[in-house]
Amino acid sequence: MRNFIPLELKKILNKNTVIISLLFLTIILIPWIQTAKSIDVLDDEGTIHSGLGGWKILRERTVEGTMTTDYLLQMKQNYENSVDKPYIEGEVDTDRKLGKRLTFPHDALNWELNFPYIKYRVLDNSLNLTDEQLSNFYVDWKGSFTEYLSTEQNLFPYTEKQIEIISQKMQKVPTPFLFKYDSGWEYLKIGLLNTIYLFFMFLAFILCEGFSKNSSKGIDKVTLSTKESRRRLLSYKLGAACVFSTIAYFVYIAIILLFITAVYTLHGWDSSVQIGTITFYSMNQLQEGLLYISMGYFSTLVVTHLILFLSVVFKRGKLVLALSLIYFYLVNTYQMGRGALIEKVMVFMPQNFINNLIGIEKLYFVGNTVFPYVFVALFLGTVYILLSRIGISIWMRRYYLQ
């Protein structure tokens, strides 16, 4: 009986699987390649460089360090004398005249430093702060979240009590932060969010016939020939599908990491996650990156179960594939949409289980206890998996009779 999972895997692995895998690998890499090319940066002399070569200049020009007061004052001085300032402050208009979209080494740092002092939190990568503001940065940063989360601005659905709890936690965030070039880790998160739906579409192509009648290799006749095999067929099919999804996911991640290492590098793994993510959880970029990869895998298991549930219900691979593709496309299209209904629904979608996992923009409360979205996603995903298994076990009776 232990050989049934290999038999199910044999049913999945065929020439079509290889062709579809190569096709989707190419499609998945397209957004990454386009992002890698869409960069314009300045070298030390102020010459503009575009494309892949720009990332090397961006790394080389980054001044790294622990964000103490002395460091911040030095960064202000560097900004005053930099080739970037005329472009950042609009004295040189390359955006319209040259069609350039310049990226600067200290964008993330400057946005973070400006955060406590910009009323509506509009991104600002200039650094025209006073010495006093820089000296008081951490005090001002920790104290600015009450206003940022205020229900008066209608940005977040938190009560005054909940905002007070969040603000108290922000007061306990360890400082100073560590700033480093860490574009690779940022693009890992962005890239996962932008391509995971393509990976799920790939799984739909491969797994859509998981429970459809397919006797080309005689497997159905074997697996349904005894009471014991019928009783355990569910675990065999789910086990084989999860094994395939696991291998496919980590191949997908390995390729992404290789691409990121080649273009952006994985430098800055120990930089503070607070730079670019508004959170009271003290993590570095490596820890957050592993969290996103883990949640991507968990989402993969959830989607695998959902696809197999559709397969056992409809028993028509093409119909299951069509439904899955429409669903994944619609969720990806509207995941950033605005509107009460969309925002309430999207939190339940597996594709969003890797979106803003620890930020204060997506926190949930049980009494006075606060949870980041990652815990909500884990709970929802576990419920989906259990319901899918229960639903499949119920529908398996029809599978036996047809």
Position 217 scores a pLDDT of 46
Place of tokens 């299209």: 333
Position 229 confidence tier, pLDDT thresholds 50, 70, 90: low
Give yes or no for residue 232 having a pLDDT over 60: yes
Query: Which amino acid appears at position 395 of this protein?
Result: W
At residue 29, the pLDDT reads 82
Q: Classify the C-alpha dihedral 148-189-169-139 as positive or negative.
A: negative
Is the pLDDT at 2 greater than 60, yes or no?
Answer: no
Lowest mean pLDDT segment, chosen from 193-207, 260-274, 373-387 = 193-207
pLDDT for the residue numbered 102 = 83
Question: Is residue 5 very low, low, confident or very high in pLDDT (cuts 50, 70, 90)?
Answer: low
Which residues lie closer than 8 Å to 359 by C-beta, 6 or more apart? 277, 278, 279, 372, 373
pLDDT for 280 equals 92
Range with the poorest average pLDDT among 115-119, 174-178, 182-186, 302-306 = 115-119
Q: In one letter, which amino acid is 244?
A: F
User: How confident is the model over 131-156, as a mean pLDDT?
Assistant: 83
Q: For residue 357, which of 377, 333, 337, 338 has the smallest C-alpha distance?
A: 377
Q: At what angle do helices 53-61 and 183-207 cross, to 10 degrees?
A: 140
Q: Are 278 and 360 in contact (CB under 8 A)?
A: yes
Asked if the model's pLDDT at residue 142 lies above 60, the reply is yes
- pLDDT above 80: residue 197: yes
Residues 332-353 have a mean pLDDT of 73
Closest among 117, 100, 111, 114 to 38, alpha carbons compared: 100
Residue 398 has pLDDT above 70, yes or no: no
Q: What are the structural domain ranges in the chain? A: 4-37+182-401, 63-179
User: Is the pLDDT confidence value at 353 over 60?
Assistant: yes
- What value does the mean pLDDT take over residues 380-385? 95
Residue 260: count other Cβ atoms within 10 Å of its Cβ.
21
Q: Which carries the bigger pLDDT value, residue 335 or residue 96?
A: 335
What pLDDT score does 260 carry? 92
Band of pLDDT at residue 46, cut at 50, 70 and 90: confident
Res 9 pLDDT > 80: no
Indicate whether 379 pLDDT > 70: yes
Mean pLDDT of the chain: 83
Q: What is the pLDDT of residue 401?
A: 46
Mean pLDDT of 373-396: 91
Determine the average pLDDT of the residues in 114-139: 85
Section 323-338 average pLDDT:
76
CA-CA distances (angstroms) from residue 371 to 53, 164, 241?
A: 41, 15, 31
